[in-house]
Amino acid sequence: MTPKEEILSGIRRALGRDPVDAATAAELRARLAAHRRNLIPARAAALDRRGRVDLFVAMAEEVQATVARIPSLAAVPDAVARYLSGENLPAELVAAPDPGLDAIPWQTRPLLRIRRGRAEASDAASLSPAFAAIAETGTLMLISGRGTPTTLNFLPDTHIVVLHEEQIVAAYEDAWDRLRAHAAASGGLPRTVNFITGPSRTADIEQRVELGAHGPRRLHILLVSGAENGENSENG
């Protein structure tokens, strides 16, 4: 017997039964296909857009993310420049090559040095687009892809995320649904889905919370309220 066979037969022996029969297997598959939701906390149920946005911002700020509201992508270069200088950081960043960010008019802030691509160890600040966000806990959802390399989320010290209001859902389950739709449309799940709630932190030293353990010390969210939605980008 192969290790796999031995493990599986050990499981069946311990449970006192044969392999799952066809009817049960069909039931289990149906259960999965139904994507049945378990209990969702009231906090995240039945929120309208305003409610979702407000909850998201409140929860995100609670975990030391900062949020700046802007009307449209056109305001991104200003918001970025202001943020970086406000934090006394160099005016440069690496931005995701995602088409959803193509419309950002970087030329309005010519002193901002922008590179499109994945992050390298020397990058101090990055900009990436959110796929969704979950109001329940102020959590961003970012997915890997051709235009959204994961290193942008972890290597630099400062991470700026562009989030559109209409991307904010109430509960994790709503976010899964969006992910499944995206996967169906694009041939499969992404390699990485990052749920990000505030900057990197550790409490490993005397239970004192310090930000910026290995991931970014700063997480800044540019919350776009405009009519623009994310559908221009590959990452929907």
Partner 1 sequence: MLAASRNFPANAAKGLADETLQRALAKAQTGFPLRRRLAVERLPEFEALREEGRAIKDHTLAHLDFYLELFEQKVVMAGGRVHWARTADEARALVLQICRSVGARIVAKGKSMIAEEIGLNEHLAAHGMTPVETDLGEYIIQLRREPPSHIIAPAIHLVKEQIADTFRAEHRNLARERPLDEARQLCDEAREVLRPRFLAADVGVTGANFLVAETGSSIIVTNEGNGDLAQTLPRVHIVLASLEKLVPSFEDAATLLRLLARSATGQEFSSYTTVSTGPRREGDLDGPEQYHVVLLDNGRSALLGGEFQDMLRCIRCAACLNHCPVYTAVGGHAYGWVYPGPMGAVLTPSLVGIAEAGHLPNASTFCGRCESVCPMKIPLPKMMRHWREREFAAGLAPRTVRTGLRVWAFLARRPALYHALAEIASRALGWMGGERGRFRSLPLAAGWTQVRDMPAPEGRSFHSLWAERRHKEPR
Site for partner 1 in 49-78 (CB under 8 A): 59, 62-63
Is 137 an interacting residue with respect to partner 1 (CB under 8 A)?
yes
Residue 150 beta carbon to partner 1: minimum distance, rounded to whole angstroms: 5
Task: Identify which of residues 79 and 156 has a Cβ nearer to partner 1 in the complex.
Answer: 156
Which one, 24 or 85, has the nearer CB to partner 1? 24
Which CB, 38 or 107, lies closer to partner 1?
38
Q: Can you tell me which of 126, 139, 167, 233 binds partner 1, judged by CB under 8 A?
A: 139
Segment interacting with partner 1 (CB under 8 A) among 25-33, 50-58, 66-74, 99-107: 25-33
Binding mask 99-128 for partner 1 (x = CB under 8 A): ------------------xx--x-------
| Rounded Cα–Cα distance for residues 108 and 218 (Å) | 24
Indicate the SS3 state at residue 163: strand
Please calculate the CA angle 90-92-98 and round it to the nearest 5 degrees: 150
CB nearer partner 1, residue 99 or residue 226: 99
* Three-class DSSP category at 221: strand
In the complex, the smallest distance separating the C-beta of residue 90 from partner 1, rounded to whole angstroms, is 18
Question: What angle (nearest 5°) sits at the alpha carbon of residue 189, between those of residues 41 and 186?
Answer: 115
Residue 75 or 179: the one with the smaller Cβ distance to partner 1 is 179
Q: Compute the least distance from the CB of residue 108 to partner 1, in Å.
A: 26
3-class DSSP state for residue 54? helix
Which amino acid, one-letter code, is at 193? Answer: V
Q: How far is CA 211 from the centre of its chain?
A: 19
The DSSP line for 138-150 is: TEEEEE-BTTB-T
Contact, 173 vs 37, CB < 8 A? yes
Q: Are the C-beta atoms of 118 and 145 separated by less than 8 Å? A: no
Residue type present at position 55: L
Binders of partner 1 among 159-178, rule CB under 8 A?
A: 171-173, 176
- Using CB under 8 A as the binding rule, the residues of this chain from 179 to 198 that contact partner 1 are 179, 188-198
Total binding residues toward partner 1, as defined by CB under 8 A: 79
